[in-house]
Structures are given as C-alpha cells and as structure tokens.
Amino acid sequence: MKILGISGSLREKSHNTALLKAAQELKPENMEIEIYSLKDLPLYNSDLEKPEFPESVIRFKELISESDALLIATPEYNYSFTGVLKNAIDWASRPSSQSLLKKKPYALMGVSGGMSGTIRSQMHFRQVAAHLDMTALNKPEVYIPFGGKKFDEHGNLTDEATRDHLQKFLNAFRELIFSVKSEKEISLN
Ligand SMILES: Cc1cc2nc3c(=O)[nH]c(=O)nc-3n(C[C@H](O)[C@H](O)[C@H](O)COP(=O)(O)O)c2cc1C
C-alpha cells in the first residue's frame, strides 16, 4: 500500500520530518511511505485555480490520488497545527465538489520541543479533517514530547519506547486502511 507522508514543518532538521523517516524504517510489510515536502506549494489563492491549478499543486493532488492514505507529522504552532499544513489541506480540498480528501484515511503524529507532544495541534487538525470527511485513525495516538531527547543529532529516532509505539501505530494504520478499502483498491507492491 502507498502512503503519502506529509510534514507540517519545512525546517531542515525538523523532528516531525525525522519522525516520518523513522516511520519509513519501522513500517510494516507491503507499506511504502513517500515523503512529500510542502515547500513548493504556493499560498492558497482562489485566483490561482483558473485556468488551471499551479503545477506544484497538480503534482501534490496527483500524489494524494495515487496514495491509499496520508501519514501526517506536524508540530504545534501557537496551539494549532502549522500554517503550511493548513495551506496544503486547503489546496487539496479544492474544488470542494471533487475534494480528494473525502473519506481519505489519515493518521496523525507529532513531536514537540516541550512537554505538550502536539496534543492541541492534533485536536485542531482532527476538527478540520472531520469537516472534510476524512477517515481518521483514532487510536493509538502519537504525541512525542521533548523531541530533543528522542532523536539524535542526525535525526534518528533513538528512544526505544517511542520506536515500539510507532511500530504499533503503523500496524494499526495498516489495519484501518484494509478495513476501509477493498483489497482491489489498495496499491499492493
Ligand atoms: C511559531 C511557533 C509557534 C510555536 N508554538 C508552540 C506551541 O504552541 N506549543 C508547543 O508545544 N510548541 C510550540 N512551538 C515549538 C515547536 O514545538 C518546536 O519548534 C518544534 O520542535 C518544531 O517542530 P520541528 O522540529 O518539526 O520543526 C512553536 C514554534 C514556533 C516556531
């Protein structure tokens, strides 16, 4: 199955992007995770929808269409998820009559520098995703506090308990995808 990994942080040494890389390492069999960077998406502007969406948005939408599910890792910015992630979701939701996000399975994770573990960021994201009628992995949840202590200086996830939890989370995500999509619909590799 094909998963599109999206980080809510553009920072080169982002712990959230590093978490997606850890997911690539710990994923279950038959799961492929491609990480897409949001850095090339323009700021949403409805004037840019016509005559056709910008090239980078078309590519982003293609990647969403080709994937069975989205794996999102986002920091918390000012008690919410990041502006770059909201911008990407806004693009993907357009045109609303053909939103690619409708019923799209997704799983959410987050690393914070401090103690919150991105709880408030994820609560906000879930509210937006419910409006878009996306299909959530509700449990288990992945809230990683004190990111600086869980990753080494090269961005490797070194905390064993977090690695185990991430593995369980990815297995549960796989089960969710199988439960909502028929085998025929899933991109097997
Ligand atoms: C604009 C801004 C707002 C932030 N607001 C919060 C916040 O509300 N709660 C929190 O726990 N951390 C907050 N942080 C700190 C981030 O959790 C921290 O920078 C995190 O490591 C960023 O993730 P990254 O390593 O993936 O870039 C904020 C950081 C920035 C730049």
Do 125 and 109 form a contact (C-beta atoms < 8 A)?
no
Please give the backbone phi and psi of residue 98, each rounded to the nearest 5 degrees, phi first.
-125, 35
So what's the pLDDT on residue 128? 98
**Rama region for 134: left / alpha / beta (φ>0; ψ in -120 to 50; rest):** beta
- Residues within 6 Å of ligand 1 by CB: 9, 11, 14-16, 75-79, 111-114, 116, 147
Atom of ligand 1 minimally distant from the CA of 11? 27
> Cα(117) to centroid of ligand 1, in Å?
10
Domains of the chain with bracketed CATH: 2-180 (3.40.50.360)
Summarize pLDDT for 103-140 with one digit per residue, the tens. Answer: 999 999 999 999 999 999 999 999 999 999 999 999 99
Q: Pick the residue whose CA is nearest to atom 27 on ligand 1.
A: 14
So what's the pLDDT on residue 19? 98
Cis bond upstream, residue 51 (ω within 30): yes
Q: Pick the residue whose CA is nearest to atom 28 on ligand 1.
A: 77
Q: Pick the residue whose CA is nearest to atom 23 on ligand 1.
A: 75
Atom of ligand 1 minimally distant from the CA of 10? 27
> Cα(53) to centroid of ligand 1, in Å?
31
Q: What's the pLDDT band for 181 if we cut at 50, 70, 90?
A: confident
Summarize pLDDT for 68-88 with one digit per residue, the tens. Answer: 999 999 999 999 999 999 999
Do 22 and 73 form a contact (C-beta atoms < 8 A)?
no
**pLDDT at residue 185 is higher than 90:** no
> Whole-structure pTM over 0.85, yes or no?
yes
Task: For the chain, give the percent of residues with pLDDT over 90.
Answer: 95
> Cα(138) to centroid of ligand 1, in Å?
23
> Cα(113) to centroid of ligand 1, in Å?
7
Q: Pick the residue whose CA is nearest to atom 14 on ligand 1.
A: 77
Q: Which residues, 6+ apart, have CB-to-CB distance to 164 below 8 Å?
A: none
Q: Pick the residue whose CA is nearest to atom 6 on ligand 1.
A: 77
